[in-house]
């Protein structure tokens, strides 16, 4: 008999390919591919109520994340209706407030990409001490309440063990997959002929500053100055949000924000990946970037930074390089030039595809999740 999984998420995980960078959808697909019977468990998430609760939260706790609070935990969990006991397992991705307040005898699996101690002064700044204390209290409840806590990186998993003293037997690591269906991916090993080819480099991210957009541009400028003809394709940034000095440069091609829920936008996005030689993401802070697995799916070598949980997505000299946070455009250009001169692109491309197939795809996630359940005897 198929295991029946109750899946708690804010939007329909069977349809929405956009929310949480498509992770809710990807996880749902992974579970279904392994033969689990998945049923969506919705909860109330009214915008007006959220606005009121956020205001109330600020009055009491000051600046912070109102999601990580008892009031949100109570609001969301109390709105979950129906008999949870009909499920063999409750799966809750990213909803820490729900995991903290959920009362059921059914085993709960919580899946997320970070912890509060890691977020403070990394993603989150100037939070009040009261807000931080409250957030940690909610997270500790969630990690304790869950039967298994799965993290998308060892960086995050280690924090749960170290900062909250959670039993390591309850802490597991399964990297994210890609936000592109495998059936749409046209993989081919990347090669480069310096005499005949222009280099297409892709940068993708909504937050220009945090994702290191200026470093990506500096890298392209340096390559062109060295006689390595390169074009930077920028995805995720609307033209009006791009620095004005970059808008009319012939080596910058901004394709804007593309919504994967839109068929036309998705087609454009796939076409960009097919012609991309290298993916660059000089990010300043990152938990687990889904886009790195899109690069891996296409076999595109990656240049990023050694920060957050990215060591589970970019393995040095296998599918790319994680650079120091202090690295400048000239340093990125040096690596790219060496890749070209040493004919490394094809090897790195095959390494990216291998990493994708074995651990960093939703198909691999489902397989490893299944093995995890068997080992835990759930």
Cβ neighbours of 279 (radius 10 Å): 26
Task: List strands edge to edge, sheet with 320-323.
Answer: 252-256, 230-235, 199-204, 278-281, 302-305, 320-323
Cβ neighbours of 125 (radius 10 Å): 9
List C-alpha distances in Å: 338 to 210, 222, 247, 274.
27, 14, 29, 23
Whether 216 contacts 232, CB under 8 Å: yes
Cβ neighbours of 45 (radius 10 Å): 15
Residue 350: φ, ψ to 5° = -70, -35
Q: Give the CA angle between residues 270, 362, 136 to the nearest 5°.
A: 110
Residue 33, Ramachandran bin (φ over 0: left; ψ between -120 and 50: alpha; else beta): alpha
Same topology between domain 4-177+361-376 and domain 182-358: yes
- DSSP-based three-state secondary structure for 237: coil
Q: Which residues of the chain have pLDDT under 50?
A: none
Residues 6 or more apart whose Cβ sits within 8 Å of residue 272 = 202, 233, 235, 255
Give the pLDDT confidence score for residue 1 in this predicted structure: 57
Question: What fold characterizes domain 182-358?
Answer: Rossmann fold (3.40.50)
Question: In whole angstroms, what is the distance from residue 235 CA to residue 272 CA?
Answer: 9
Domain 4-177+361-376 sits in which CATH superfamily?
Glycogen Phosphorylase B; (3.40.50.2000)
Residue 59: φ, ψ to 5° = -65, -35
Give the pLDDT confidence score for residue 247 in this predicted structure: 87
Nearest alpha carbon to residue 255 among 183, 319, 333, 200: 200
Enclosing H/E stretch for 27: helix 23-33
Q: Which residues on adjacent β-strands are paired with residue 123? A: none
Burial 248-266 (b: 16+ CB within 10 A, else e): eeebbebbeebebeeeeeb
- Written as one string, the DSSP assignment of 351-371 is HHHHHHHHTSSHHHHHHHHHH
Angle, to 10 degrees, between the axis of helix 345-358 and the axis of helix 290-298? Answer: 120
Q: Which residues on adjacent β-strands are paired with residue 204? A: 235
Enclosing H/E stretch for 156: helix 154-164
Question: In whole angstroms, what is the distance from residue 179 CA to residue 169 CA?
Answer: 29
Give the pLDDT confidence score for residue 190 in this predicted structure: 85
Nearest alpha carbon to residue 43 among 89, 68, 8: 8
Question: In whole angstroms, what is the distance from residue 354 CA to residue 344 CA?
Answer: 15
- Tally: H helices and E strands in the chain: 13, 12
Question: In whole angstroms, what is the distance from residue 290 CA to residue 281 CA?
Answer: 12
Give the pLDDT confidence score for residue 326 in this predicted structure: 98
pLDDT in tens, 61-92: 999 999 999 999 999 999 998 899 999 999 99
C-alpha distance across the termini of the chain, in Å: 14
Is the overall model pTM greater than 0.75, yes or no? yes
Q: Cα 60 from chain centroid? A: 32
Domain boundaries, the chain: 4-177+361-376, 182-358
């Amino acid at each position: 008999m198929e295991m029946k999984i109750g899946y708690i998420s804010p939007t329909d995980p069977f349809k929405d390919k956009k929310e949480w960078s498509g992770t809710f959808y990807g996880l749902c697909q992974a579970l279904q591919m392994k033969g689990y019977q998945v049923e969506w468990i919705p909860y109330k998430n009214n915008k007006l109520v959220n606005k009121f609760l956020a205001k109330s939260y600020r009055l009491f706790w000051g600046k912070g994340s109102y999601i990580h609070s008892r009031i949100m935990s109570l609001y969301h969990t109390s709105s979950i209706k129906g008999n949870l006991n009909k499920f063999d397992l409750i799966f809750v991705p990213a909803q820490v407030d729900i995991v903290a307040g959920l009362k059921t005898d059914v085993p709960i699996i919580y899946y997320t990409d970070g912890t509060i101690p890691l977020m403070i002064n990394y993603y989150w700044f100037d939070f009040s001490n009261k807000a931080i204390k409250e957030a940690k209290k909610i997270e500790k409840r969630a990690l304790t309440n869950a039967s298994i806590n799965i993290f998308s990186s060892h960086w995050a998993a280690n924090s749960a063990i170290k900062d909250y003293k959670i039993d390591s037997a309850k802490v597991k690591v399964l990297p994210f997959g890609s936000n592109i269906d495998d059936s749409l991916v046209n993989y081919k090993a990347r090669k480069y002929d310096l005499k005949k080819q222009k280099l297409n480099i892709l940068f993708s991210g909504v937050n220009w500053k945090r994702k290191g957009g200026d470093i990506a541009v500096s890298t392209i400028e340096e390559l062109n100055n060295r006689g390595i003809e390169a074009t930077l394709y920028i995805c995720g940034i609307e033209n009006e949000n791009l620095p004005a000095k970059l808008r009319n440069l012939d080596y910058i091609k901004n394709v804007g924000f593309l919504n994967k829920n839109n068929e036309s936008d998705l087609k454009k996005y796939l076409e960009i990946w097919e012609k991309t030689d290298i993916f660059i993401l000089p990010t300043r802070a990152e938990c687990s970037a889904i886009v790195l697995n899109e690069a891996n799916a296409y076999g595109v070598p990656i240049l990023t930074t050694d920060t957050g949980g990215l060591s589970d997505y970019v393995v040095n000299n296998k599918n790319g390089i994680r650079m120091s946070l202090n690295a400048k455009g000239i340093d990125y250009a040096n690596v790219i030039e060496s890749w070209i001169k040493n004919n490394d692109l094809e090897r790195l491309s095959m390494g990216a595809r291998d990493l994708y197939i074995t651990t960093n795809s939703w198909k691999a996630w489902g397989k490893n999740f299944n093995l995890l359940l068997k080992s835990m005897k759930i």
